[in-house]
A = this chain, B = another copy of it.
Amino acid sequence: MPVTIKDLSNELSLSRSTVSKALNGRSDVSSATRERVLRAVDELGYQPSAAARNLRRQRTEKLGLVVNYPFQRVADFLAELIPGMAAVAEDAEYNLILYTSMAGNEQRIKSLCRSREVDGIIVAWPPGSSETVALSQLMADEQMPHVFLPRRFSNAGISFVAADHVQGARALTQHLISLGHRRIGFERLPEVYETDGDRHAGYAGALRDAGIAYDPSLVISAKSTDPHYHTRSFRTFLSQPAPPTAILFFTDPMAINALSLAKEQSIRIPQDLSIAGYDGILASGVTEPALTTVGQAVSDMGRLAVESLLQLIEEQPRAPIQHTLPVELIVRGSTGPNPKI
């Protein structure tokens, strides 16, 4: 049987209330009493029951981390994200509870909110899924503070932490332009709404700034992340009358796929064709040649998401908290000067 506050009060011949006050640093306790209590805590090895405390205080100091990603596919993303989150949370005396099986089941999120087993929720949900807006509404209805990540919402009113993909795609495109490229392909992925829109906007913006006309035949939409589509897109790019001299892929895996397709066809990267990815996954650094890409400060995003959530919980601001973090252009071997000039 664990030691309870009652044991303490018996031992000390004090009331439970006084002991509780001493424990919680109230001012209406004599310092002599406080000393005695603290000493007894040490001796008896008292630790408050989390359940009792949670019930009474109506909060748990736990944050839910709802992950709706296939872990393996984004291993390094999560491995960077989670420790940052946990560190910030634990500094604030909170802990993270993991929920990995809530995809496509609003009901479970609703139950989670109503059970009040967490004080707030961080939703790591792929940017593609449209139901996230409904999800946010649901949590708002349950008065459950929540932050989305890593996606931006055009809807106002939703708190999120995301990366500035407009800037990222712009920087990447400018980099290619500065290497002399004029026909720059872009394989986009409309599956991931805002993110796709942002990266496309950055790409188009950089072209516009450089006075290069936007050529729709250089922009191909992938139907999904299935490699099959990318392979077809890649062929389409190269079979054009005036094929691109550089191609920007929506994500690193798509670019890495292109790298191996190029090798098969004896297309030299970057001498014959420049290739760039996006996201800066670990694997992008070890391909041959290594991939030029855009990296996100994932760890910072995690930290910021927790900080934001804690703010929502503790300060209850009326306005949502929205952070868009800068990204970093990572220039490596897969991009080089335009061979056609």
Contact = CB atoms under 8 A, between A and B. Distances in A.
Interface of A: 2-3, 45-52, 54-55, 58, 60, 62, 71-72, 75-76, 78-80, 82-83, 86-87, 90-91, 95-101, 110-111, 114-117, 282-283, 286-288
Contact of A75 (B47, B79, B90, B287): B79
Given A96-B97, A100-B90, A101-B87, A50 B117 contact: yes
A79 B78 contact: yes
B96 A98 contact: yes
Contacts of A97: 62, 95-98
7 contacts: A54-B54, A72-B83, A76-B79, A86-B98, A95-B99, A98-B98, A283-B286
Contacts of A99: 86, 90, 95
A153 to B, nearest CB: 26
Contacts of A51: 51, 54-55, 58, 60, 116-117
A79 B83 contact: no
Of A52, A71, A116, A288, the most chain B CB neighbours within 10 A belong to A71
Nearest to A62: B97
What are the nearest 7 A-B pairs in CB distance?
A47-B114, A75-B79, A50-B117, A71-B83, A51-B54, A51-B55, A86-B100
Contacts of A283: 282, 286
A2 B59 CA distance: 13
A62 B96 CA distance: 11
Nearest to A75: B79
A82 to B, nearest CB: 7
A90 B79 contact: no
A76 B86 CA distance: 18
Given A71-B83, A76-B79, A90-B99, 7 more contacts: A46-B114, A50-B54, A51-B116, A71-B82, A75-B80, A87-B100, A95-B98
Nearest to A287: B286
Given A75-B80, A76-B75, A116-B49, A101 B90 contact: yes
Contact of A115 (B47, B62, B76, B90): B47
A278 B56 CA distance: 51
